Each structure stands twice: as C-alpha cells, then as structure tokens.
A = this chain, B = another copy of it.
Amino acid sequence: MNNAAIGVFDSGIGGLTCVKELIRLLPHEDIVYLGDTARVPYGTKSRETIISYAKQDIDFLMQHNVKMILVACGTVSSVLSNVDKSDSVEISGVVMPAVHAACAATKNNRIGIIATSATVKSGVYGKVIRSINPDIKVVGKACPLFVPLVENGYTAVDCPPARFFAEEYLEIMKKEKVDTLILGCTHYPHLTELISDIMGSDVTLISSGAELAKYALKTMSYNDTLSDREEQGKIELYCTDSVELFSENVEKFLGKNINAQISQCNLKF
C-alpha cells in the first residue's frame, strides 16, 4: 500500500497549487489528480450539487487504489463533513490544515478567510476556528471575481482590475485588523503578491492548498505510509473536459519541467 498513489482532486485546475507543493515535499510519491473541468466551477453552485459532484470525484480516485485522498478544492472541503466517506482511505480537505496554521500564526486573535461564495456561505471556518479557540474573531469574505481573474492571467500586482477587486474584497479585512488571512480557495495563491501588497507584510497569508500538502506529509510520516521508492514519482492528471484545454493551464500552475501524463476521463454524466 505504501507505494500506492496519493489521490488529489479539485473542481478544475486550482488544486494543482497543492500538487506543486506535494511534488516539492514528497518527490517520490505517485500522484493521481482529478480536475472536474467539464463542470467547473463548484464555488458558485449549491451545497447539494457540490456534495453530489464530490462523491463522484472520490469514487473515481478510489478506483485508482489511492492510499489517501486530498480534497484540494476549498469549496468541496467546506462541505466535506456531509460527504459519505469510505472507511478504508483517509480523506482530508484544506479546512483543518489551514485553520491549524492560521491559529498558530495569529497573535491578535483575528483571522480572515477569503474564498468562494459557497465556502463563505458554509461558515465552516468560523465553526472550526471557534472550536479550537473561542476567543478568535473570524472574518469571512467571498471573492467571486478572483477565480476568473486568475484563470485569465490577471494577477499582476499592478493590474488595475485585479487591484480594484482585491481592494474591494480586502477592505473589511483591513478594517477588522486581521493579522492572518487564509486563502481558502486553491486559485488564490496566484494573487499572493497583490494581496500581500494590499494587506501589508505584517499579515500572514495561509495557502490552504500548500497547508494540505504539508498535512499529507505529516500524516503519512506518522502512519508510516510514505513510499519507499527512490526514483521520482509519477504524476497522472485526469480532467473531465478536453485534455487540450486542461494542458494550457498545467504549466501555469505546476511550472515547467514537470513530467505529467494528462488524460480525459468520464464520470458518467
């Protein structure tokens, strides 16, 4: 089982920010990634629809005999407690790893969370953070234009529309004086420079996808399920829409020099 792959999924390409960190931390692990690009985005859809899609995504990865499933999608992670999970494989979303990193980082007990509409509506970050420390104030804000901005390459610190929306969305975070900000959608790390420029360098930004990758390393280390392979792990990427469209974005998210095999799969819808 130790040499089985790690399964990762997202509604589309955002979860590749988690894969990038996994490759850095765990270069000998095989990774099977699913991006449901035929139905992307999830973050504007209803809780019921997101849960139904997530079940199909998990079933697909289970068929690949993965040893762990990482939900590298902020939106699915926010409803994960409502998704039936198999007993045989651990399934982890971004919420717990991001919350633990944020609670460790905050000094003034004020944490902000920016994410999709569905994630903010779920209220899950507030619930989990308060269960750890009821004295922490949590401020949530949906940022619906961030995903289209990132997917179309408008991420530069001096890009006027990116700055307009970032200033609008982050205004409440500055007003509430959060000292730690969770990037609750796996697309948002592409806006790190801009967000940091607006929030100031004193505010700690938590990349939820990267924290999930770190959590995977810790968990597999603890459970002794890390691969004993010495060569580089294989990266298999699956998408539900065309390979051509998906491939255009892979290099943007994973960087060059990543040797990944990309295939289309059918979740039977």
Which chain A residues in 130-153 approach chain B with CB under 8 Å? 144-145, 148-149, 151-152
- Least CB separation from A147: chain B residue: B148
Q: CB-CB < 8 A to A160: which residues of B?
A: 160-161, 164
Which chain A residues in 149-170 approach chain B with CB under 8 Å? 149, 151-152, 154, 160-161, 164-165
Identify the stretch in A185-193, A202-210, A241-249 within 8 Å (CB) of chain B at 4 or more residues. Answer: A241-249
Q: Count the A residues whose beta carbon is within 8 Å of the partner chain — how many?
A: 28
- Least CB separation from A246: chain B residue: B46
A49 touches B144 (CB 8 A): no
Nearest chain B CB to A57's CB is how many angstroms away? 13
CA distance A269 to B266 in the complex (A): 11
B38 touches A244 (CB 8 A): no
- Name the one of B46, B149, B151, B165 contacting A242, with C-beta atoms under 8 angstroms: B46
Could you mark each residue 217-254 of chain A with 1 if its beta carbon is under 8 Å from any beta carbon of chain B, else 0?
00000000000000000000000111011000000000
Q: Is A48 an interface position by the 8 A CB rule?
A: yes
Copies of this chain: 2
Q: CB-CB < 8 A to A46: which residues of B?
A: 241-242, 244-245
- Least CB separation from A142: chain B residue: B152
A241 touches B38 (CB 8 A): no
Q: CB-CB < 8 A to A164: which residues of B?
A: 160-161, 164
CA distance A151 to B145 in the complex (A): 10
CA distance A215 to B40 in the complex (A): 33
- Least CB separation from A53: chain B residue: B38
Q: CB-CB < 8 A to A49: which residues of B?
A: 38, 240-242
* Between-chain CB contacts (< 8 Å), 12 pairs: A38-B49, A40-B44, A48-B242, A49-B240, A49-B241, A144-B151, A145-B148, A145-B149, A145-B152, A145-B154, A160-B160, A161-B161
Residues on A facing B (Cβ under 8 Å): 37-40, 44-49, 144-145, 148-149, 151-152, 154, 160-161, 164-165, 240-242, 244-245, 268-269
The 10 closest A-B pairs by CB, nearest first: A269-B269, A46-B242, A161-B161, A148-B148, A161-B164, A38-B49, A49-B241, A39-B39, A46-B241, A144-B152
